[in-house]
Amino acid sequence: MDYKDIIKEKLAELNLSELENVLDDSDIAGTLSNVSAESIISSILAGEPLFNTEAVIESVKDLFLYEMKSALVLGVEIVTISIVIGMLKSLSSSFGEKAVSNLGTMVCTCLIIGLCLGNFTTTFNLCKDAVNTMTYTMQILIPILIPLLIAIGGTVSGSVLSPVITGATAAVNTMLSNLILPAVFISTIFFMVNSMTEKDYVNKLAVFIRGAATFACGISVTFFAGITAVQSFVTESADGVLADTARYSISNFVPIIGGFASDSVDMMLLCVNIIKNGIGVLGVIVIIVLLALPLIKMLAIAVVYKITAIITEPLGNKQVSECLNQMGNSVITMAVILFLTSMMFLVFIAIIIGIGA
């Protein structure tokens, strides 16, 4: 039996349709339409590169420009209102009373805050959805990978890592969607409301909440990735002892055919290992695609916020410019949180791929 036949047979026994559905749903750009576990494994065996690098770069660039264009509408609206505010300020002497122009300025600021809040809510939901989809992907990926890991002799690794990774994934998802992302949202609301007046009422509070959220995210990701990595180091050596003992006893204690048997067991294990790594790579690709689309979108929105802040600054409205700048920072913070989370998931998959290599 050829090793390709073994791999094909083993692959047919696995149910990968859910994972491939997630990939199809998230792949808007259409660059990865022909990626599946089978194609990845066959290109690994044939020694071909997995991606067409130029096409990937091209589609990322197109996507970024497209998102920039759609976010620019908001920027143009804000700049228009800022110009009106500048006009109101310069006309304040001809109104006679200062209160009228001040009131006009404030109403315009309210309008800008309303526009920003609508856009920011969309971005926030985008980030939340991305985290949830990634968690869902991990929850369908881990039950596929762990049995394969056990099949290649990683009994200890499989039984120890499965609850650790599942638990860490669920815990991080709960923390992010109930604690960290809402905290970033709240701090952004405080930044916005702070830009209503010239005095700083809640500026420090907003800075503190956002800092705490970023810190909590970093700590929890480091903590979970760390304990999983340490676990895997220990269990990997334990598995090595078990597998070697089994191989040694087959080849030495089974007379005559023992050597052949242990060799064919080795080949079987290698084939399953290739399948495990192929599916692991598919998981990595799914996670990266799930990360890339929201990340590009959020970075485009953040760039538009920052550019709008730069444009409104010379119009003489310090508060609006500061508010837009801080909103850009908030969107970047959410992008960083999303990035850290996906990094943690990638570390988990990499640990599973690394065992038994």
Partner 1 sequence: MSYVTEWVKNIFIIVVAVSFIEVLLPAGNMAKYVKYIFSLIILASILAPLAKLVA
Rule CB under 8 A: which residues touch partner 1?
99, 102-103, 106, 110, 178, 182, 186, 189-190, 193-194, 196-197, 201-202, 205
Query: Whose Cβ is closer to partner 1: residue 199's or residue 256's?
Result: 199
Query: Whose Cβ is closer to partner 1: residue 102's or residue 155's?
Result: 102
Q: From the CB of 239, what's the least distance to partner 1, in Å?
A: 43
Angle at 175 between CA 304 and CA 281, to 5 degrees: 75
Q: From the CB of 219, what's the least distance to partner 1, in Å?
A: 20
Query: Whose Cβ is closer to partner 1: residue 74's or residue 205's?
Result: 205
Helix (H) or strand (E) holding 329: helix 318-354
Q: From the CB of 198, what's the least distance to partner 1, in Å?
A: 9
Q: From the CB of 88, what's the least distance to partner 1, in Å?
A: 13
Residue 29 CA to residue 357 CA, distance in Å, equals 33
Torsion of CA 266, 270, 271, 272, to 10 degrees: 100
Residue 164 CA to residue 154 CA, distance in Å, equals 15
Q: From the CB of 102, what's the least distance to partner 1, in Å?
A: 5
Query: Whose Cβ is closer to partner 1: residue 121's or residue 178's?
Result: 178
Chain position carrying tokens 């209503």:
196
User: 207: exposed, middle or buried (C-beta count within 10 Å: 0-12, 13-18, 19+)?
Assistant: middle
Q: From the CB of 206, what's the least distance to partner 1, in Å?
A: 10
Query: Whose Cβ is closer to partner 1: residue 51's or residue 201's?
Result: 201
Query: Whose Cβ is closer to partner 1: residue 74's or residue 193's?
Result: 193
User: 54: exposed, middle or buried (C-beta count within 10 Å: 0-12, 13-18, 19+)?
Assistant: exposed
122-146 burial: b if 16+ Cβ within 10 Å, else e: ebbebbbebbebbbebbebbbebbb
